[in-house]
């Protein structure tokens, strides 16, 4: 096997390894949120805090989300800049900008390699009938229904990504 083909296969293997790692991480965090019985109100407050820090310090938060591709839900990774949290009645929407840093198709993407995407996320409690009529908090993208179940981590924050958000 030629060394260039060997390196290409190795890079592809690394991408699949990262995909599997993100899959386990997303499942684990989602399970912890469910076990903690986090509510939509608690998540809304967390996003409000993110918006305040984004405005004051340019903070971007690591986020994991699922993307529907060919009848499979694949975890993706990025950095989320929360611009605004809007609440009207029983509906809460988040205006944000996403810098994707990993997808299976693209592999690892450095900030600025791909343009930032402006998103509208909706925060709500989803009724889980198969789990004894419990509710589970969900954050889904309204602009692109293929992107759903966003989990944004409060403890993974960066302040150096603002130039890439344009």
- Residue 10 backbone dihedrals phi, psi, to 5 degrees: -65, -45
Q: How many Å apart are CA 128 and CA 95, to the nearest integer?
A: 26
Half-sphere exposure of 157 (CA within 13 A, CB side): 13
Q: Specify the long-range contacts of residues 48-52, CB closer than 8 Å, at least 24 apart.
A: 48/85, 49/154, 50/80, 50/82, 50/152, 50/154, 51/82, 51/83, 51/84, 51/85, 51/94
Beta carbons of 68 and 14 less than 8 angstroms apart: no
The CA-based angle 44-47-49, given to 5 degrees, is 115
**Residue whose token pair is 């407050």:** 45
Which pLDDT belongs to residue 1?
Answer: 60
Tokens representing residue 41 in the block: 């109100």
- Sequential pLDDT tens for the chain (166 residues): 678 899 989 999 999 999 999 999 999 999 999 889 888 999 999 999 999 999 999 999 999 999 998 889 999 999 999 999 999 878 899 999 999 999 999 999 999 899 999 999 999 988 777 766 777 889 999 999 999 999 999 999 999 999 998 7
Total-model pTM: 0.91
Q: How many Å apart are CA 68 and CA 75, to the nearest integer?
A: 9
Half-sphere exposure of 85 (CA within 13 A, CB side): 19
């Amino acid at each position: 096997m030629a060394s260039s083909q060997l390196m290409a296969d190795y890079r592809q293997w690394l991408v699949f390894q990262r995909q599997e790692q993100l899959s386990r991480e997303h499942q684990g965090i989602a399970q912890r949120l469910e076990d903690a019985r986090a509510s939509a109100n608690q998540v809304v407050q967390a996003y409000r805090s993110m918006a305040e820090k984004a405005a004051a310090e340019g903070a971007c938060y690591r986020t994991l989300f699922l993307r529907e591709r060919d009848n499979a839900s694949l975890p993706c990774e990025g950095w989320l800049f929360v611009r605004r949290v809007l609440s009207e009645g029983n509906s809460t929407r988040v205006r944000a900008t996403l810098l994707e840093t990993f997808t299976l198709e693209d592999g690892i993407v450095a900030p600025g390699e791909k343009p930032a995407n402006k998103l509208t996320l909706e925060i709500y409690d989803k009724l889980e009938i198969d789990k004894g009529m419990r509710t589970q908090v969900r954050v889904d993208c309204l602009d692109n229904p293929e992107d759903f179940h966003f989990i944004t981590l409060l403890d993974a924050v960066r302040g150096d990504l603002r130039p890439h958000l344009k």
